[in-house]
Structure 1
Amino acid sequence: MPIKVSVVIPVYNPGGYIEDCIASLLRQSLPDDEYEAIFVDDGSTDETPERLDRLAAEYPHMHVIHQEGSGWSGKPRNVGMAAAKGEFIQFVDNDDWLGDEALERMYDYGVANGADVIVGKMAGKGRPVPRELFRKNRPHANVENAPLIDSLTPHKMFRKEFLDKYDLRYKEGRRRLEDHVFVTEAYLRADNVAVLSDYVCYYHVKREDASNAGFQRFEPVGYFNNLREALDVVEELTEPGPLRDRLFRRWLRNEMVERMRGQRLLKLPADYRQELFDQIHKLVVERFGPGVAAGLPTTQRIVADLIAAGRLADVEEFARWESQVKPSGVLDDLAWADGKLTIGYTAEYKSGGEPVLFRTAGGKDLLVPPLTQAGPDAVAPLGADTPAPLAKSKVDLVIKDRATAAEFFQPVEFTREKIPVTGRQGHFRHVFRATSRVDPLSAANGAALDAGIWDVFIRITSCGWTKDTRLGAVRGEGAGQGRRAAVVGSPARLFLPFWTDPHGNLSLEVEQQTDRIAYEFAGLTSADVTVTTDPGRLTVALPFHVQGESEASLKLTDAARSRSVALHGTLSALGSGEAELRTDLPLEELAGARWRLELVLPSTAGGKPVALPLALDVRADGGVVVKRLPSAVRKPARSRSGFPGAAFLRRAAGRLRRTLKK
């Protein structure tokens, strides 16, 4: 069988971090005879060489090459490429890992779309990864129609024939940004680049000791000389004009301006800060025309222009203000409808706890940064005018898997509002009012959410800031009233929105990862249970959302005699947004005992019994008395939108209304 994919892994002293990488390669869904892994040991001095030799001896598709240390990743990647037999080559770092189906999915996607380069969705474990690029699948991407330039790490799949055709190889030796040079040329020469966004293919990991090469402080002169090589590639393969400016803007923004902002700048030692600034200033003046900075958002443009003007003191002043700018959000409403979780929220940026302000002048919206007069006056293109393109600002709702860091954008509808500031003529706040609808059966870019805990974030993009914040700690009464579990889908699955402890943020539990669901039933009383005889039937009113009908069951346990009975029933929606479980009740079998109730909810992983604070006393003659038991779980924490027991009282009121209607 021809090899479809060769995975090349440069290795240097990874210690135990390589185990996750190895395990992910062994778990790949591709058959073992359709892929190979080539570990290139670059002079490791720990126990890794012996570990890799044992691996290669045990698995025929795992290979290891030992070489003297070269000092960086370029040479071992080139050695791995030379040894590769696959149709495609995937690069992986020794402290990262792949999704279990990554190679199969990326290969099939690349072949189906005739791609020379396949970019798989990335998740960052403690380190940043591109976001906008993976908002959707992009089967036919290039540097003009997609933000490919935002992803320049080497962790991609490349057609080997394509690499050989253009003799694409990594620059070798101890150097920085060799991956930028390689990937940029690949993007610009490829006939097609395919971006796969509906499955997390690559997990980019920051070590706990932060010893990844990319986290080490660099020497500015050498670093920016290496960066010039990436710019040289762009100049060789593009014509002067808007496209080249846009590509150059990536390095101006990420490698220069972002290093001069907020705490990232202020926490640097003063002497290193000056050295870094001097090299950035030199490169900006040397290589970037006015069209490069002109396309930056407001705050990045301010910093870029101050850099070009050589005004480090003003850059530092602006950084001190920016370091306090944070997004804020209020959870206004939360409710299930038609199997989707509707989340209503309000968001804006604040600095030092106060809203970031704007003003209107000359028909323009302007940001009001606290620069001294010397700062803006020193920047000719900027002057005192800091235009804020608020019409381009946006807010997103993102859900993130707590275990894997995989994140997915959710549909959002929003409006922008300008709220006047009392006592300040012409000044206003810029506020978003938004609604997102999370469908847990398609929330992962069309796929259902995996079992786990998913944290909810809002992400505000405005004026050059793109920042996240959790949602839920500040919330309105409607959010507290609407929070409840839901059973949706076929086969049915359990989803539970909850407030985190102690901060009270909104998260979503999928498929009973904890015993948290028991808290939902702590307020049940005997009034929630209806028992009829001849024939025996039992109905339990439950405080959660159900889409249609599904199967569920009750487990009845007679603790005194160590016996249990399973009652299979039907879970269906009530008009009030609650649910009820109906089961047959075999009274003869249950007679003469007290039965504790446990609820078994639908779950693709097999539902876990959830203790209810209820028991059935079944007399010998078949009579039944429902008893309320002391709850075995603690009550949910007090919500900022209500008082303990408020949800129970609302449910009781709903049942009373239904009874009166009958």
Structure 2
Amino acid sequence: MTIKVSVVIPVYNPGPYIEDCIASLLRQSLPQDAYEAVFVNDGSTDGTPARLDALAAEHPHIRVIHQENSGWAGKPRNVGIEASTGEFVMFVDNDDWLSDEALERMYAYGVEHAADIVVGKMAGRGRPVPRELFRTNRPRATVKNAPLIDSLTPHKMFRRAFLEEHGLRFPEGRRRLEDHVFVTEAYLTAGSVAVLSDYVCYHHVRRDDAANAGFQQLDPVGYFRNLREALDVVAKYTEPGPLRDKLHRRWFRNEMIERMRGRRLLAMPDGYRQQMFQEMHKVVVEYFGPGVLTGMAPMQQIVGALITADSYPDVEEFARWEKTIGAHAELTGLGWQDGALQLEFTAGMLAGKKPVQLHGAVGEELVRLPAGLDGSDAFAQLGVRPDARVDASKAEVVVRERSTAAEFYQPVGFSRERVPGTGQGAGQDDVRMVLRAKATVSPETAAGGEPLSPGVWDVSVRVHLAGWTKDVRLGSVRSETAARGCRAAVVGEPARLVLPYWTIPHGNLSLDIGRTTGGLTQQFGELDRRDLRVLPEPLLLEARLPVWPAAATVPAVLHLTEQSGSRRTVRVAAALAATDDPGRSLLRAERPEQPLTGGNWGMAVSLGEGDERPTRLPFVLAVAAGSGALTIRAVPERPAKKHAPFARRFAPRFVRRMVRKVRGRAARSH
């Protein structure tokens, strides 16, 4: 079979961090005779060369090339291009990894749309990745109609014939931003770029030891010398004007302004950040026209104006204030409707513990800056101001899978409300902006139209105001109404359990898909004896459970486990039915075919189809010997063993129950 994709992986001393990369390449859904992995070992001095040689000996579609250390990733990637035989070339870093269907989906999408470049959706683990670019699929993206320039890492799929036609190769040697030069030229010469956003393809990982090449402290002089090379590529392929300004804006914003803001600036040593500032100022003066700054968000314009005006003290002062800016949200409503979780919340922006204050006429509101910055000459000279952009303010809901960092936007409707300003420093006519929103999270479509995969999905609100974009977890501030609505549900086809729960200790809202936490056991632990009763034949019992069924009836199984003797388990058919109480459902179980022997039988419930982790009920079914009479009782106390530890022999029942809860916190906390 013709090789469809060659995956090129530059390797230098990754240690154990390469194992996730290797495992993901071996898991690819694309047939192994349809792709190859080319590892280019750039003079590693750890055990990686031997590990790769053994891997290649075992897998025919994996090749290894060894070379002397070249200093950076450019040369090994170029060597990989030369050695590749696939229709497309995909670049992967040795400490990152691919989702299982990444190569298959990206290749098919590229062929379908005759693309020279395929950009797959990225998820960042401790590393930033583009957001707006991956809001939707873009089969015909260009630097004009899409924010392609926001994604300049090389972790994309390139048609090999396209690379050869234009002689595209990475700059080599020990240098920074070699990927910016390569990817920028590729974007500007490509006939077609396809952006695949409905499936997370690439996982961009920050190592625990922070030893990724991109996290090493940079030399300001060398870094901005390399950055100029990327700007020169833009100049080569564009004319002065709006398009060039738009492209230049990416470097001014990401590589300069964002480094001079808030915590990021203040975390740098003082002399080092001043040196960074001076190198930035030189680039701005040499390359950027006034149109570059004009198209930015208001607070980016503020910092950009101060860099342009060479006003470093004001940059520091602004950073100290901006460090206090953050979003807040209050969950006011939570509940299930039509198979989807409905959220209601309010959101806004804070400066410290006080709302951000706005002033000025309606429609022309400005953010009230701290004293000393509100009259900066640099702002007046460059025509910038702290515009609140009230009409562009918005709140979005994002669900993010905890283990993979995959995130997806959810449908939201919201309104804007101007509320009189409060707190110290608020003027008589000041106002603050409150966003009132309703959102829907449908587990069957929330992942870009696909069902949420098993795992823990954290729910956040993304607030936009005055050019700030800040995330805040939802749920730690909540109303009693929202707290009562936090109930599990059985949804979808086939039916499966979805558990909203509050994390420990922060109390944030997360969704457990596939029983990865013990949250349902905790909710069932709150059942009262009156919630269960024995039924006459042919039924066995019914229980009122804190679960919402999406359908009129949902299949379930009652597991009865003998508490002594053989400890055998009997599975009994059951069904979960809706009730008038939206927070409760009724479980009815049938009698087993064979009578139960006398004694206590523990009870657990499987909800939906394919539920392999039954949830225990805090009750036993007591069967009287001889008569077979049935009684429901609380789980009996276990007798203390003669030599049992003190806590187990003498601690009250509620203490032991708390110990069990604490043991499950690790899986539920976040």
TM-score by length of structure 2 reads 0.92
Give 1:375 shift.
5.7
Alignment partner of 1:479: what SS? Answer: helix
Instruction: Look up the match of 1:370.
Output: 370
1:637-648 → structure 2 map (5 Å cutoff): none
389-398 or 312-321, larger mean C-alpha shift: 389-398
Contact 1:137/1:196, CA 8 A, preserved across alignment: yes
Q: Which one of the candidate residues 606, 621, 624 is aligned to 1:616? A: 621
Q: Distance in 1 between matches of 2:73 and 2:393?
A: 39
One-letter identity of the residue aligned with 1:556: L
In 1, Cα distance between equivalents of 2:594 and 2:450? 46
- 1:379, distance to aligned residue in structure 2 (A): 3.1
Does the 8 Å contact 2:314/2:373 carry over to 1?
A: no
Partner of 1:25: 25
Residues 79-101 of structure 1 deviation map (CA, whole Å, 9 limit, x = unaligned):
10011100000000111111111
**Unaligned stretches of 5+ residues in structure 1:** 638-662
Deviation track 1:312-338 (CA, whole Å, cap 9, x = no partner) reads: 000100000001111111111111111
Q: What amino acid is the match of 2:585?
A: A
Q: Which moved more, 1:473-482 or 1:354-363?
A: 354-363
Return the offset for 1:373: 5.4
- Choose which of 544, 549, 566 in structure 2 pairs with 1:546: 549
**1:262 Cα deviation from its structure 2 partner:** 0.7
1:473–1:503 Cα contact (<8 Å) kept: yes
Q: Whole-Å Cα distance in 2 between the matches of residues 384 and 246 of structure 1? A: 18
Q: Say whether 1:564 aligns with 2:559.
A: no
Call closer, same or farther: CA 1:303–1:551 in 2, change over 3 Å: same
**Is 1:134 aligned to residue 134 of structure 2?**
yes
Q: 2:52 is matched with which residue?
A: 52
Q: Check if 1:515 corresponds to 2:526.
A: no
Q: Secondary structure at the match of 2:341?
A: strand
- Is the CA contact 1:522–1:635 (under 8 Å) kept in the aligned structure 2? no
Larger displacement relative to structure 2 (414-423 or 618-627): 618-627
* Aligned counterparts of 1:315 and 1:17: Cα–Cα separation in 2: 38
- Provide the C-alpha distance between the structure 2 equivalents of 1:440 and 1:136, rounded to a whole number of angstroms: 19
In structure 1, give the amino acid aligned to 2:591: L
* CA–CA separation in structure 2 for the residues paired with 1:324 and 1:144: 35
Deviations 1:101-126 (A, max 9, x none): 11111101111111111111111111
CA-CA distance at 1:486 after TM superposition: 0.6
User: The residue matched to 2:145 in structure 1 has which SS?
Assistant: coil
Quick check: 147-156 or 362-371, which moved more?
Answer: 362-371
**1:437 Cα shift?**
0.6
Instruction: Kindly report which structure 2 residues correspond to 1:338-487, keeping only aligned pairs within 5 A, or say none.
Output: 338-361=338-361, 364-372=364-372, 376-381=376-381, 385-422=385-422, 424-487=427-490
Q: Verify the 8 A CA contact 1:519 1:633 in the aligned structure 2.
A: no
User: Quick one: distance in 1 between partners of 2:106 and 2:417?
Assistant: 42
Tell me, yes or no, if structure 1 residue 600 matches structure 2 residue 602: no
Q: Distance in 2 between the 1:93 and 1:20 partners?
A: 11
2:25 and 2:392 map into 1 onto residues whose CA distance is 42
1:363–1:521 Cα change, 3 Å: closer
Give the distance between the partners of 1:385 and 1:32, measured in 2 at CA: 57
Matched, 1:499 2:502: yes
CA–CA distance in structure 2, aligned partners of residues 407 and 184 of structure 1: 26
Moved more, 342-351 or 527-536: 527-536
Letter of the 1:69 counterpart:
N
What percent identity do the matched residue pairs reach?
A: 56
The answer to whether 1:582 aligns with 2:585 is no
Q: Deviations over 1:540-580 (max 9, x none)?
A: 21111101122101112231333332111111212322211
In the aligned structure 2, how far is the partner of 1:364 from the partner of 1:495?
Answer: 45
Cα offset, 1:493, TM superposition: 0.8
Contact residue 44 and residue 69 of structure 1 kept, 8 A: yes
* Aligned partners of 2:363 and 2:390 also within 8 Å: no
Residue 573, structure 1, aligned to residue 575, structure 2: no
Change (3 A) 1:169 1:361: same
- Seen in structure 2, the aligned counterparts of structure 1 residues 240 and 81 have a Cα distance that, compared at 3 Å, is same
| Alpha-carbon shift at residue 591 of structure 1 (Å) | 5.9
The normalised TM-score by structure 1 is 0.93
Once the two structures are superposed, residues 581-603 of structure 1 have per-residue CA deviations (whole angstroms, 9 ceiling, x without a partner) of 12222497026433222112225
Distance, in Å, in 2 between the alignment partners of 1:384 and 1:167 is: 42
Query: Aligned partners of 2:122 and 2:176: how far apart in 1?
Result: 22
Gaps of at least 5 residues in structure 2 are: 637-653, 662-670
Q: Matches of residues 8-19 of structure 1 in structure 2 within 5 Å?
A: 8-19=8-19
Q: Could you tell me whether the CA contact under 8 Å between 1:91 and 1:156 is conserved in 2? A: yes
Matched, 1:532 2:535: yes
Aligned residue identity for 1:440: P
Aligned partners of 1:211, 1:588: CA distance in 2, in Å? 63
Q: CA deviation at 1:626?
A: 2.3
Give the superposed CA RMSD: 2.0
CA distance in 1, matches of 2:15, 2:288: 42
Distance 1:377 1:542 in 2: 65
Does residue 489 of structure 1 match 2:492?
yes
Aligned to 1:112: 112
Between the two proteins, the alignment pairs up a number of residues equal to: 637
Name the stretch that deviates more: 570-579 or 307-316.
570-579
Residue of structure 2 in register with 1:5 after alignment:
5
The residue aligned with 2:645 is none
